[in-house]
């Protein structure tokens, strides 16, 4: 019996964690522990903890760590709070292995809390290239991690080049493709978006196509956050097409984004525009799959949409250097560029790609993490 502890810190990463949780829960050799932390507990970001529970999982520990203000200073202090609280949680839970997802700023906290207590660490989605603080965090977590589940072959190669032993690196694909795969199998949308998920703004008719927007503030361009979101707002406002706009994550700057959105909504007639918080992952992918395409800078546009064949306009530098399939068109933070790219590009499904996995990553990760020999001791010295 192996005690596997999985950490959930945000709505977007939960989408990718859920297939792993499902497989871990189904495995009789696994005692599953779930820790929910950071924005996963916060109302402003859709409180994913409720979805986690509705999905049939029980939460062992809740970690409140977000120091309000959303400046770079408070982001850093929030990580400190997170280290303190995760250390206590892991000391109480005493897991055999802790599994972390990706690269959000707060994920370094459980990585340290586990490593410093000699608890083996598994990391999903290491080795990728993105070009900002996320990339620093991602590779730093790699250097703490003892097991790696990269999503692509290029990521796998990077992990080995960085000194991780090949036998600890498993290229399983990204579990987001698992959900995408289910959606392709069963694409029917059996709910009303507005009734089931609420949100604010108008209720444009979605029957004849619509666009999804999902744009996060870019930490290192903090001061420009308002301007950037404004460009996108103006671009989509001129299209006369329905838009579902999803609120951003709790990074530094997201409050400014929120204000810009709110103020735009209050000062313009926005019959075409509806704002939403999070959806259940599979619902979201169905909405995405049925859409004309996605605009913004979310990794969903690169990852799930390449598997689904949904066209995407990727704005700015946030996803710079991330591997992309044929579904993505890149533009800068300029309303005219954005608008013209949407008009050219968002016209029906494009070719699908297995770049980010083949739809069975969750099961493979769960199988490996529950059976592979565990160690918290590693060194690049094995090569020298």
Identify residues 192-211 at the interface with its own copies (CB under 8 A). 200
Sheet holding 147-149, edge to edge: 61-63, 30-37, 2-8, 97-101, 121-124, 147-149
Residues in 342-361 at the binding interface with its own copies, rule: CB under 8 A: none
Q: How many residues bind its own copies (CB under 8 A)?
A: 72
What 338-345 contacts at long range (C-beta under 8 Å, 24+ apart), as own/partner pairs, is: 338/231, 338/232, 338/235, 338/236, 338/295, 338/313, 339/235, 339/236, 339/238, 339/239, 341/313, 342/211, 342/235, 342/236, 342/239, 342/293, 342/295, 342/313, 343/239, 345/293, 345/311, 345/313
Residues in 308-337 at the binding interface with its own copies, rule: CB under 8 A: 320-321
Among 59, 93, 129, 184, binds its own copies (CB under 8 A): 129
By the rule CB under 8 A, 77 interacts with its own copies: yes
Q: How far is the CB of 144 from its own copies (least distance, A)?
A: 5
Which SS3 state, helix, strand or coil, does residue 35 take? strand
d(CA 371, CA 384): 29
- 128 vs 178, beta carbon nearer its own copies: 128
Residues in 291-310 at the binding interface with its own copies, rule: CB under 8 A: none
Q: How far is the CB of 279 from its own copies (least distance, A)?
A: 18
Among 266, 269, 351, 373, binds its own copies (CB under 8 A): 266
Window of 62-70, 239-247, 269-277, 357-365 that interacts with its own copies by CB under 8 A: 62-70
**b/e 49-78 (16+ beta carbons within 10 angstroms → b):** bebbeebebeebbebebbbeebebeebeeb
Among 6, 22, 81, 151, binds its own copies (CB under 8 A): 81
By the rule CB under 8 A, 52 interacts with its own copies: no
Among 3, 31, 50, 131, binds its own copies (CB under 8 A): 131
By the rule CB under 8 A, 255 interacts with its own copies: yes
CA angle 65, 70, 76 (to 5 degrees): 55
By the rule CB under 8 A, 281 interacts with its own copies: no
d(CA 240, CA 154): 40
By the rule CB under 8 A, 93 interacts with its own copies: no
Among 1, 54, 56, 118, binds its own copies (CB under 8 A): 118
Give the CA radius of gyration of the chain: 20
Q: How far is the CB of 108 from its own copies (least distance, A)?
A: 6
């Amino acid at each position: 019996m192996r005690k596997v502890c999985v950490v959930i810190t945000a709505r977007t990463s939960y989408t990718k964690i859920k297939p792993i949780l499902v497989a871990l829960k189904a495995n009789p050799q696994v005692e599953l522990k779930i820790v929910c932390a950071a924005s996963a507990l916060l109302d402003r970001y859709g409180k994913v903890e409720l979805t986690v529970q509705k999905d049939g999982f029980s939460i062992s520990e809740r970690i409140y760590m977000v120091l309000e203000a959303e400046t770079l200073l408070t982001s850093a202090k929030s990580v400190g709070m997170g280290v303190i609280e995760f250390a206590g949680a892991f000391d109480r839970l005493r897991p055999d292995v802790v599994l972390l997802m990706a690269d959000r700023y707060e994920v370094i906290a459980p990585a340290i809390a586990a490593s410093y207590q000699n608890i083996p660490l598994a990391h999903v989605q290491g080795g990728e290239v993105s070009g900002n603080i996320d990339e620093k965090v991602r590779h730093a977590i790699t250097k703490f991690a003892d097991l790696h589940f990269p999503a692509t072959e290029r990521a796998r190669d990077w992990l080995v080049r960085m000194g991780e032993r090949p036998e600890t690196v498993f290229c399983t694909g990204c579990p987001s493709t698992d959900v995408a795969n289910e959606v392709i199998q069963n694409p029917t949308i059996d709910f009303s978006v507005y009734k089931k998920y609420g949100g604010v703004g108008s209720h444009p008719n979605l029957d004849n196509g619509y666009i999804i927007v999902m744009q996060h503030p870019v930490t290192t361009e903090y001061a420009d956050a308002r301007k950037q979101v404004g460009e996108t707002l103006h671009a989509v406002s001129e299209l006369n097409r329905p838009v579902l706009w999803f609120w951003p994550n709790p990074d530094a700057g997201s409050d400014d984004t929120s204000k810009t959105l709110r103020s735009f909504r209050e000062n313009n007639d926005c019959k075409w525009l509806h704002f939403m918080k999070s959806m259940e992952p599979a619902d979201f992918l169905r909405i995405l799959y049925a859409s004309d395409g996605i605009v913004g800078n979310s990794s969903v546009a690169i990852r799930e949409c390449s598997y689904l064949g949904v066209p995407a306009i990727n704005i700015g530098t946030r996803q710079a250097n991330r591997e992309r399939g044929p579904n993505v068109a890149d533009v800068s933070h300029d309303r005219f560029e954005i608008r013209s790219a949407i008009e050219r590009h968002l016209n029906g499904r494009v070719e699908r790609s297995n770049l980010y996995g083949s739809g069975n990553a969750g099961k493979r990760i769960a199988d490996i993490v529950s059976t592979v020999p565990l160690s918290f001791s590693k060194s690049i010295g094995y090569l020298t």
